[in-house]
Amino acid sequence: MNDLSGELIDGRYELLRQVASGGMATIYEALDTRLDRKVAVKIMHAHLANDEEFVGRFIKEAKAAAALSHPNIVAVQDQGWNQNGVPAVFLVMELIDGHTLRDYLFERGALSPAESIQFLIPILSALAAAHKIGIVHRDIKPENVLISSTGRIKIADFGLARGELLGSTMTAESSVILGSVSYLSPEQVQRGIADARSDLYSVGIVAFEMLTGAKPFEGDSPIQIAYMHVNERVPLASSKKSGIPASLDALIYKATSSNPDERPAHAGEFLESLRLIQSELDPKKTQMSLELDLPPAPIRDKSRKAPRVSPVKTSPSSDTVETMALEKELKPAGEKTSEIRRRRASSRVRRNRWIALILVIALGTGAWYVLVGPGTRIVVPSVAGMSVKEAKATLKPLGLTSEISEKVFSEEIPSGKIISSKPGGGGRVSAGGKVLFQVSQGPERYKIADIKGFTLEAATALLTKDPVSIGTISEVFSNKIEQGLVVASDPVAGTSVKRDTSIDITISKGQEQVALTSYVGLSGEQALNELTTEGFDVSSVYAFSDTVPIGAVISQSPDGGATAAKGAKIDLVVSQGSESVFVPNVYSLTQAKATGVLQDFDLKVIVKKIGKKSIKTVTNVSPTVGTKVKRGSTVVITVG
């Protein structure tokens, strides 16, 4: 799908940048221009917008998620079809600033039981709300568990959700294909059906991965992983890592049972069991709801007004009379009232003069600051998040120059965008001064080199030129790579990885040598099937033999008892039977029957006809009956 960044959807949502893209839709960070807030806009791919079934499923997702009002579920705010500009079916959701549980596990690896429970309780609380109204998520996995920058845990992507509010337009096949095979329950893989217990199986797999740092089943292909989920029992998490409490271990084991009837009935039951385990692990822990960041504050009833309190009235007599008496005593004898007033007036004048002096000093200081002091310095506008070109265009009208002081990696700021400036936004610089930029190089990633066919030493030297580490070294048989050379790496060549990523290397043990069985005298079909199954390249030729029965092996190369590498060529010589046959007795048979008998013995037939009978039979055979001849020889029969 083309990048729609910069488009205005529905006359309201300005698409700022792509956040993620999947098989069905692309998610953008957008600005709601009406409410001036950031949102996430999910837009269906253009090639699906004309498919009524996909559009219907997309709209049902909006209705399902909108029906769920819970602090741990990503809220849906709007849905519609863009009528102006680029045609687009869209869904508007709250924008979660943070990362996914997959990112968290990638950075942290295995979590402690206490940390795992802190993640599981909000997840199960959200699912309990969904299960309560008959909605099943169907795609619980670490990628769909979001962790906001404030620590809030949110369940996202009800794109596979199904329940009474959604109907049943999704087929079993499509739902299994769209789901994530590592977390699918056996019943989803086998029959394409799911209920609340299927979500709990997925939660159990997520819990297993959080506690151990690995999924219970790993394979080379999704089909192989799905097969293991159907045919194998998820092991106890404690078998992979020690230190897991027995009660938590048993609960996860129960949730990942292959039989749905053995799992908790719904998320609420699972949640209650998990809270009991949490209280057992830490009895002193405050038992408040972990789904909410803060408990709700009580709202005061506005209809109730505070009682009015009448002010206490004081009598003017006592304090006033005492004050007047005191003033009278303090007046010097014979002093007139006019003199007292002049004295008071003089003190006010002195006070005003001081105030005027302070104002003059302040105005003078301000004038100096603005005209010749630091006030003449230019305020630097904020350029963080701009490209270098945009930032220079912003600074140029102010008479400021700029240059890049350093380039650093950033997981959050796109490559080529400015992370910070010196001075920063709001800082000051002299007229004509210079502003230094710190520019993002984008995420720090290193591409894995192709080391196939290298020696281990050469491969290690090539890989460690970048800041990555060498992980596990394993060996496998290979028919194509010589012994001691690299077969493959994990992650594979060309993959971009983070700093300090561990690279596993697989070394060839050469071709696997297998002891050969002798098939001489045995069925050629048996030899062909068994040798091919063992990985050999089998070639069969046929020859006549007077001693070996037809269809049996006359000889093989290499001989039985020798060893050969898997994939090696094995030559078989299979008997066609004896090269010679005896002419059979076909006297008195009709021409057709006699010809068929002789051809069954691999003999050619020439017919000579005599007489005028309507039904002619064989009257003579040459060579005579019983004569030993080679297969393919000609026999002449006379019919009459």
Residues taking part in catalysis? 139
In angstroms, how far is the first alpha carbon of the chain from the final one?
84
- Cβ-contact 545, 598 below 8 angstroms: no
By CB atoms closer than 10 A (0-12, 13-18, 19+), residue 13 is buried
CA separation for the pair 82, 90 (Å, rounded): 7
- Cβ-contact 207, 120 below 8 angstroms: yes
CA separation for the pair 147, 122 (Å, rounded): 11
Q: DSSP assignment, residue 455?
A: B
Torsion of CA 612, 614, 620, 623, to 10 degrees: 110
Residue 439's Cα: distance from chain center in Å? 29
| Locus of tokens 């299960």 | 131
DSSP 338-403: HHHHHHHHHHHHHHHHHHHHHHHHHHHHHHHHHHTSGGGSEEPPP-TTSBHHHHHHHHGGGT-EEE
CA separation for the pair 605, 592 (Å, rounded): 11
- Cβ-contact 437, 387 below 8 angstroms: no
Q: 246-252 long-range contacts, Cβ below 8 Å, gap at least 24? A: 247/277, 247/280, 248/113, 248/116, 248/117, 248/211, 248/277, 248/281, 251/277, 252/204, 252/207, 252/208, 252/211
Residue 586's Cα: distance from chain center in Å? 78
